[in-house]
Structure 1
Amino acid sequence: MKILIVEDEEGISNFLKQGLEEEDHTVLIATDGLKALEIAKNESPDLILLDWMLPKLSGLEVCKTIRKKDEKTPILFLTAKDTVHETIEGLRSGANDYIKKPFSFDELLERIKIHFRDKDRQNVLNLGKISIKTLSHQVFVDDQEVIFTQREYELLKYLIERKGTVCTRNNIIEDVWNIHFEYDTGVIDVFINAIRKKLNLYKDVELIKTIRGVGYIANEN
C-alpha cells in the first residue's frame, strides 16, 4: 500500500521508510506541511503518518485541510505532543489515531494494519456488476478482475464515486488529470472508450452514459 510519511526529522523518516518498505509498502516522504498537501493531492496515498510540528504548515492544519476534501484516508499523528488537550485537538482535526513519540515500530505496524482493514471494508465502490476495491486499486466485473491503467482506474473511480451525478468534461480534466488551464478535453473520450471496452459495456448498457455536450454520468438506472 502507499503510505505518506510527513516528518521533518530525517532520522525518523528514514527509519520509518526502511521499516515500511520491508513490509512491502510504497513510501512517500514530505518534510513540510505544504509539500504534504501537494503529495496527498497528487499521489492519493492509502494512509498518512503525520507529525504535528512541521515547517511552513503544522500537522494540525495539514490534517484539517485534507479532511475538507478527503474524509476516508486514514491519518495517524506521530508526535511528541502528549497532553490530553493536544490529543483531543488532533482527533477533532480529523485524525484517525494518535501515537505518541517515542513509539514501538511493531505497535505502529499493528495500528496501520487495523486502519487498512477498516479502510478496505469501507472502500468498495459498486456500479451494477462492477466493483472497485479502492485500497488495492482493483476493478472487478462479476467477480472477475479487469486490469486497468492508472488513469483509466482513476477516471472510472471518479465517475462511480459520483454515481447519479453528471460529471462535466471540465471537472473531469481538472480533478482526474489535475489540469487547471484550457485543454482539449477530447482525451477523456479515448479513455471512456477504453474503459467501456474493458468492461464489455455496449450501447444497450448505460452504466456509463454520455451526456452530449456536457460530460458523463455513472448510473445504474
Structure 2
Amino acid sequence: MRLLVIEDEAPMRTALVETLKAEGYRVMAAADGVAGIELACTEPFDLLLLDVMMPGLDGFALCRELRKRGRTYPVLMLTAKGRIDDRVEGLDSGADDYLVKPFSLRELLARVRALLRRKEREAGIGRELAIGSSTIDFEKRTLTREEIAQPLSEKEAGILALLAGRPGEVVSREQFLDVVWGYHAYPSTRTVDNFIAALRTKIEDDPAKPRHLITVRGAGYRLDP
C-alpha cells in the first residue's frame, strides 16, 4: 500500500513516516500543501494523511482541490483543531476521517487500517450498482434514472456502498457514522436518517413507501435492490 503524508512540522512528519514504514507501508511525504497537492495528483496512492494547519494551502483547501480533481482515495485529516465545527468542515471538504492531536500512534494505525479495509470493500462491490430503475456509478459518483444523471455527495455514495457491500444485512446508524463519516462523535444519528430520506427522493418511486432503502425499526437500514 502506498501512503502520502503531508505535514509541515518536521518532527511529526518524520515520526509518521517512520511509524508507517515500520508497518510495511510504502510512504512518501511533503512538507507543505503546495508540494503535497502536486504529489497527490501525479503519483498513485491508497491513502493520504493530511495536516490541516499548514501555510499557503491548508488541509481543508487541499482536500477540496483533491476531490475536485477526481482523486477519490481516502483522506485522514490530522489536526489540533478538535471542535465539532472543525471536524464537520474537514469531513465536508472531502476527508474520510479526522484525528485530533495529540493522538496515539496505535490509534493512528488503527484508523489507517480501517480506511484501507473500507477502500477494499468498496472496490469489491464493482463500479456500478443497479437499484430499481436507478444506476449508481461509484467512480463518477452519479445516480442515473430515466436517462437523467445527477451527482451524489460523497456521503450519499458512501452510504450506498456500505449497504451494497452487505447485501441482505441490516446496517445500524452507528455503523454508518463509523464507516462513512469516520468518527464516533458526530452530533446525531438523525444525520443518517436525513441522508437516507434524501436518497429515497432520488431512488424510490414513492419515497413515503420505499421498496429499496428499507427501514428496519430499532435496528437501521437494509438495501433491497
The TM-score by the shorter chain falls in which range?
0.5 to 0.7
Distance 1:82 1:35, change over 3 A: same
The answer to whether the aligner puts 1:29 opposite 2:29 as a matched pair is yes
Q: Distance in 2 between matches of 1:71 and 1:8?
A: 22
Task: Write the letter of the residue equivalent to 2:82.
Answer: D
Task: Report whether the alignment pairs 1:54 with 2:24.
Answer: no
- How far the C-alpha of 1:124 sits from its partner, in A, is 4.6
One-letter code aligned to 2:64: K
Q: Residue 93 of structure 1 corresponds to which residue in structure 2?
A: 93
- SS of residue in 2 equivalent to 1:76: strand
Matches of 2:58 and 2:101, distance apart in 1: 17
Distance 1:22 1:101 in 2: 21
* Runs of 5+ unmatched residues, structure 2: 128-138, 141-225
Partner of 2:70: 70
Amino acid at match of 2:44: S
Q: Distance in 2 between matches of 1:12 and 1:44?
A: 23
**Does the CA contact (< 8 Å) of 1:72 and 1:119 recur in 2?**
no
Find the counterpart in structure 1 of residue 6 from structure 2: 6
Q: What secondary structure, in the 3-state scheme, does the structure 2 residue paired with 1:98 have?
A: strand
Note closer, same or farther for the CA distance 1:63–1:126 as it changes in structure 2 (3 Å cut).
closer
Shift of 1:52: 0.6
Classify 1:126/1:85 alpha carbon distance in 2 versus 1 (closer, same or farther; 3 Å): closer
Q: Which amino acid aligns with 1:19?
A: T
- Supply the distance in 2 between the matched residues of 1:126 and 1:116 (Cα, whole angstroms): 16
Flag the structure with larger Rg: 1
**Which residue of structure 2 aligns with residue 18 of structure 1?**
18
Q: Distance in 1 between matches of 2:54 and 2:22?
A: 26
CA shift, 1:56, in A, is 1.7
Aligned AA (2:84): V
Instruction: Tell me if the contact between 2:41 and 2:71 (Cα under 8 Å) persists in the aligned partners.
Output: no
Secondary structure, aligned partner of 1:90: helix
Q: Structure 1: where are the runs of 5+ without partners?
A: 128-160, 163-221
RMSD over aligned Cα, in angstroms?
1.9
Q: Which amino acid aligns with 1:87?
A: R
TM-score by length of 1: 0.55
Name the SS of the counterpart of 1:63 in structure 2: helix
Aligned partner letter, 1:45: F
Partners of 2:4 and 2:12 in 1: CA distance: 13
- Aligned counterparts of 1:123 and 1:117: Cα–Cα separation in 2: 10
- The amino acid that maps onto 1:86 is D
* Residue 123 of structure 1 pairs with residue 123 of structure 2: yes
The letter for the 1-side match of 2:67 is R
Deviation at 1:55, TM superposition (A): 2.1
Q: What CA distance in whole angstroms lies between the structure 2 residues aligned with 1:102 and 1:67?
A: 27
TM superposition shift of 1:18: 0.7
Task: Give the secondary structure class of the aligned counterpart of 2:114.
Answer: helix
Query: Percent of aligned pairs with the same residue?
Result: 41
Deviations 1:120-159 (A, max 9, x none): 12125979xxxxxxxxxxxxxxxxxxxxxxxxxxxxxxxx
Shift of 1:84: 1.1
Deviations 1:45-99 (A, max 9, x none): 1100100111221110000000113353100110001111111111100100000
One-letter identity of the residue aligned with 1:6? I
CA distance in 2, matches of 1:31, 1:97: 21
Question: What is the aligned partner in structure 2 of residue 45 from structure 1?
Answer: 45
State the SS of the aligned residue for 1:123. helix
